[in-house]
Structure 1
Amino acid sequence: MKIFIDGDGSPVKESAMDIAVNFGIAVVIVTSIDHYSLKEYPANVSFVYVDKGADAADYKIVQLIKKEDILITQDYGLASLVLPKGVTVLHQLGYQYTAENIDNLLEQRHFGAKVRKSGGRTKGPKAFTQADREAFKAALTTLLQNDKSQ
């Protein structure tokens, strides 16, 4: 099992890496070459850099991820592509994407896009808070503890 992180703009990379180190799980962060870093990371963390492009990181994740891996993303479309592969998908707010909720999430996204395209306005996401970070950390920890006990 590996944890993949859709790295462009993810506010939970550090939290996920810290938790993964505690569980001895490899982390793969897929991100645009625009976010290249020389920063030192733990040995269990690797980066896959992709060219610039709206969905380049998504396509690479779909290509690399395997059954029983975990993906951390806020992208509903990406989540819908990897769920059929047997991947567990976790949002940065701590909730899990499932076959039961993904269609509704995609419909909401489509409706919002239609409103914006016709000149309307929709609310953007709320600012990411410390409470959101704690909810994510608790959800990922619980997920990994449950996996370890099986």
Structure 2
Amino acid sequence: MARVRIYLDGDSCPVKVREVIFRAAERREVPVYVVHQGRLQLPQGPWIKPVKLPPAPGAADAYILTHAKPWHLVVTRDIPLAAELVERGVPVINDRGTEFTRENVRERLSARHAMKQLRELGLVKTRSRFSHRELRAFAAVFDRVLTRLLGESG
């Protein structure tokens, strides 16, 4: 049976979310491939696999798209990447606890494009707040999806 693994789009992922993922990886013995282009402080351990890429546009997305399979889990806040992965049958969640599906990822992609246009026109300024509530939501969804994948893998 295929082995479950986690791909983490690491550059934009909050530290607290990474900590949840790393603890689960150790506890469940699931490798986490931390795909990044910038500097990240990562703990040492047999289940944490840093994937440092050169600073080229789209390099992290290309790596994840090339390697992620339907029995893997991807954690990213990149909605276009999530949309492409979901179309390929790869489970994807974001750092706020949303599991992307074929039904909701298109809506999120449309909302992202609309917000981008509003920001470019100077009509909207966004602030990203990450609270304990979002961390709890992430942990719950992450655990549920990872448990499902581990059950399916045998």
Question: TM-score under structure 1 normalisation?
Answer: 0.88
The equivalent residue for 2:22 is 17
Asked whether the 8 Å contact 2:33–2:50 carries over to 1, the reply is: yes
Query: Counterparts of 1:27 and 1:13 in 2: how far apart (Å)?
Result: 10
- Residues 23-43 of structure 1, C-alpha deviations (whole Å, 9 max, x = no match): 1111100000x3155x54220
Q: C-alpha offsets along residues 70-107 of structure 1, whole Å, 9 cap, x if unaligned?
A: 00011101101111222100111111011000111011
Structure 1: 5+ residue stretches without partners: none
1:112 and 1:122 in contact (8 A); partners too: no
The answer for the alignment partner of 1:50 in structure 2 is 53
Specify the SS of the correspondent of 2:12. coil
SS at match of 1:101: helix
Q: Which runs of 5+ in 2 are unaligned?
A: none
Q: Does 1:94 align with 2:91?
A: no
| Paired residue type of 1:112 | M
Across the aligned residues of Structure 1 and Structure 2, the Cα RMSD in angstroms comes to 1.7
How far apart are the structure 2 equivalents of 1:54 and 1:108?
A: 23
CA distance in 2, matches of 1:36, 1:135: 24
Residue matched to 1:61: 64
* C-alpha deviation, 1:18, in angstroms: 0.7
Amino acid in structure 2 at the alignment position of 1:143: V
Larger CA deviation: 62-71 vs 2-11? 62-71
Q: Tell me if 1:27 matches 2:29.
A: no
Match of 1:143 in 2: 145
Calculate the TM-score normalised by the size of structure 2: 0.86
Give the Å deviation of 1:6. 0.3
Letter paired with 1:72? V
Distance 1:102 1:25, change over 3 A: same
How many corresponding residue pairs?
147
Deviations 1:86-140 (A, max 9, x none): 2100111111011000111011011011112233224333x11122112211211
What one-letter code is carried by the residue in structure 1 that aligns with 2:150?
Answer: K
Aligned residues of 2:72 and 2:149 also touching (Cα < 8 A): no
